[in-house]
Every structure is written in C-alpha cells, then in structure tokens.
Amino acid sequence: MNNNKRSAVSTVPKANPLRVGFIGLSAVKGWAIKSHYPAILQLPSQFKITALLNSDLESSLNTIKKLKLTHAKAFADVTSFASFTDVDMIVVSVKVPNHHGILTKLLEHSVKNPNLKYLFVEWSLGSNLREAEDIYKAAQKRGIQTIISLQGRKSPYIVRAKELISEGCIGEINSIEIAANGGWYGYERPLKSPSYLYDIESGVNLISHSFGHTIDLLQYITSSYFSEINSMMFNNIPYQELLDEHGKRTGKKVPKTAPDHLLFQAALANGNVPVSCSFKGGTPVKKFTKNLVIDIHGTKGDLKLEGDAGFAEISNLVLYFCGMKAADPGGPSSTSKADEANETMEVYHLRNYNSVVGNILRIYEAIADFHFKSNPRHNLPAKLERQGFLFEGFPTFKDALILHRLIDKVFQSSEEKKTLTVPIVS
C-alpha cells in the first residue's frame, strides 16, 4: 500500500480555509519562515493566515507588509491574540524555553475564542518533562485538537520504511543500530549561534532534538515503544571556541553545559529487539561515513536509512532495502523456494525533495484531510488523542508527552548509572 500518496481530493473549494494565527512568524529570520510559511503557501484553499504575534508589534507589522498577508492582523500581546475570534488554528514557532509561558497563557485566554479548534506547536513541547506535562494538561482542559511537530513521521523515507516493515518484507526484526552526528556540540561554535542551544536547562540539546526526533522515528517505524533502556551521557567539551562570521577562530572560549555524546542501549517492547545508538556532536574531521545511519536487521532482510545530517526529521534521506516482496494475502504459504523467488532490492531517494518544507507540508496536509475529511482512506475519530503508530493522522501532544517521558528516563539512567524500565504506554 502506498501511504506516501495523498488523497486525490487535495483542495476543498466549497469550504472556507482554516484561519491560522502565527506566533513567531517573521519575514527576516526564524524556523517558521523557512518551513511553515512555504508549506502553507502550497495549500491556499485550506489555510489562510489571519493573525500574527511576534516579540514586538513592529516586527509583526513588517512581516505582514513584506509577505503581503492581506488578511492578517498584528497583535502586541498573547492575551489579545488568543482572544481573536478570526482564528481556527494557532501555530507556535518560538524558542523552546519560551513555550511554557506562552502556551499556558495562550490556552487560558483562548477560551474567549470559540472558533479555535487546533493548536500546532514545534518540538520540544516544553524545556523538560514537568513543563510538557503542564502544557499537555492545559490543552486537555481547553479541549482543542493538538499537533506537535515531530515532522519526521511524515518523511516519505520514514513512511516507506514503515510500510516495508509492517508488510513483513524484512521478516521479524532482530537488531537495530543507529549512529548520528548532531552538530553544534563539538569544539567550535559560531559567534552568532544562540546561546540557549548549549544550555542543558533550555530543553534544546543533542538528547532532546537529534536523539529525540530520531528515536521517535525508530519507534514509529517499528510500531513499538521501549521496554527498558540504559544510557551514558558525556560533556567532554565543557568549553567551545567561538568562530567569527568567516569561520575563523576568535581565540575566545565560552561554556557549554549540554552533552556532546550519548550512548543508548535499549530493548523494544515488541519482540525484545536490542537497539544500540551512538549520538555525538561536532563536525567530523574526516568524513568516512554519513552523519546519520540507521540499520534495521530482520530475519528475511535488511533496511538502512542514511542522511547527511544527524537530524532525520529535516534531512533528505536515502533508503536501502534488501528483502522480500510484500506477501500476497491470497498467495501460497512461505517456502524456501518461494522466498527465493520473492527476493527483491530497493533504493529509494527523491533527488529534489526539500525535507525542511516537505515534511512540515505533509503535517499540514494531514491536518487539512482531518478537518475537511477529504481523504477517504482515513478513518480517524473526531478528536485524535494520539497518533501512536498510525500511518494516517498527525502526532499530538500525547505523542510529545510519551517522547518527553522517554527522554527523561534517558537522563535519569545516565545520572543513576543503571538500566531502567520504561512504563507501558496506555
């Protein structure tokens, strides 16, 4: 089954588009202008930007002017923005350390907007598990549909890998290895790089993002959470040398409290599959291998995902597969000769795919399909509490909370120097 193919009903001309309020969309910088905005531009009949909130009113007004957002109104504070009734969906794309303050206030005051149906937030949900739980509870109380930007789940390579595994093309999984380079946390740091990226308290680090996104994808691909984990974290580079805008050393060093290496060993709950991961920061001195390699070994085949950066959610990957053709439900039972005849190989790569925009776009498409009920293949409930391992739908705050709890266990395991059981997800 091709789960990468969207419904033929890609527009909904007889319905009004979802009115979107943005927190953190600037015409000159930021993640939203690189990913969310170009994604929304491709879905004009389904989404329309009607409200904007930035750190200051002038920034919002300038963005409205530069992007020609003719339907948008600029706001000076969260309270008035949250109360604006010409908004069906709010997208929050700001620094993670600001999430808790903005989101709790937003959810509190948005009760004055009876039209608000969706809240879409960038990962991480909070700087830590406590903040994530606070935000999740506030959203539950507010009763709106939540979406978290674990956009790697929508990568065509991740979806294809999940299809191959779910169709039995590599048989039963017996082991998994991951090696990744998460950048940022090596011996050098660009002068203009935001300092919060290197602060362990900010919630943006090698563990929460490079590891967090990747390990979420692994659970999604295999349709299994972890049963137990063991981790070791290292901060062997407590000081980094600053580089100027030309990449030259300045001779000045600044502190770094975020880890620069993670060793992670675990077992998947389904099949007790061993998983071994190594995540490191910095730029390799000599590049002998890809910066992201995920090897999944099965009883009837193997699957490999490779990328040039240790961020699977924003990387244009390559998928290598050697195994069996998908079984025909009405065909003969498996035999050695039949298996030999069904052996196949696949290399899957989309040369011009823009993963920074494309994966976010696919989340917006999933939201539109959910709202307008335009994909006949989807049979989702009126409110999606958790995507879990479904092909359809989108990741929610519940999915985010599950990942936050796993990351919290990773920190705990390293601090206590022991293997920990991961609570069963209910």
pLDDT at position 57 is 97
Q: Which residues sit opposite 254 in a β-bridge?
A: 240
- Pairing of β 292-298 and β 173-181: antiparallel
Tokens of 308: 């040039």
What does the alpha-carbon distance between residue 279 and residue 262 come to, in Å, rounded to a whole number? 5
Helix axes 212-222, 156-166, angle to 10 degrees: 30
| Token couple for 336 | 């050695």
State residue 138's pLDDT score: 98
3-state secondary structure at position 113: coil
Q: How far is CA 93 from CA 26, 44, 257, in A?
A: 10, 20, 24
- pTM of the full structure: 0.94
Yes or no: say if 301 and 322 are a contact pair by the CB < 8 Å rule. Answer: yes
Please give the CATH architecture assigned to the domain spanning 154-330+341-350. 2-Layer Sandwich (3.30)
Paired with 219 in beta bridges are: none
Cβ contacts of 284 within 8 Å, gap of 6 or more: 181, 291
Q: Which of 424, 426, 410 is nearest to 226 (CA)?
A: 424
pLDDT of residue 411: 97
Cα dist from 335 to 97, 329, 341, whole Å: 56, 15, 10
426 residues of the chain, pLDDT tens digit each: 677 766 555 556 578 999 999 999 999 999 999 999 999 999 999 999 999 999 999 999 999 999 999 999 999 999 999 999 999 999 999 999 999 999 999 999 999 999 999 999 999 999 999 999 999 999 999 999 999 999 999 999 999 999 999 999 999 999 999 999 988 899 999 999 999 999 999 999 999 999 999 999 999 999 999 999 999 999 999 999 999 999 899 999 999 999 999 999 999 999 999 999 999 998 765 567 789 999 999 999 999 999 988 899 999 999 999 999 987 655 555 556 656 678 999 999 999 999 999 999 999 999 999 999 877 777 888 999 999 999 999 999 999 999 999 999 999 999 999 999 999 887
What local confidence, expressed as pLDDT, does residue 337 receive?
A: 60
pLDDT for 3: 77
pLDDT at position 95: 96
Tokens encoding 388? 């879990």
**Nearest CA among 92, 14, 90 for reference residue 46:** 14
Look up residue 339 and give its two tokens: 């298996």
φ, ψ for residue 60, nearest 5 deg:
-65, -45
What pLDDT, on the 0 to 100 scale, is given for residue 332? 52
> Would you kindly state where each structural domain of the chain is located, as residue ranges?
18-150, 154-330+341-350
The token pair at 362 is 């696919």
Token digits of residue 389: 């391992």
Token pair listed for 64: 């409205």
∠233-317-123 over CA atoms, to 5°? 50
Is 63:26 a contact under the CB 8 Å cutoff?
Answer: yes
Cis amide prior to 124 (ω within 30 degrees): yes
Q: How far apart are the first and last CA of the chain?
A: 28
How high is the pLDDT of residue 282?
Answer: 84
Superfamily of domain 18-150, CATH level 4: NAD(P)-binding Rossmann-like Domain (3.40.50.720)
Q: What integer pLDDT is reported at residue 338 of this predicted model? A: 57
DSSP code of 313?
G
What is the token pair recorded at 82? 């949250």
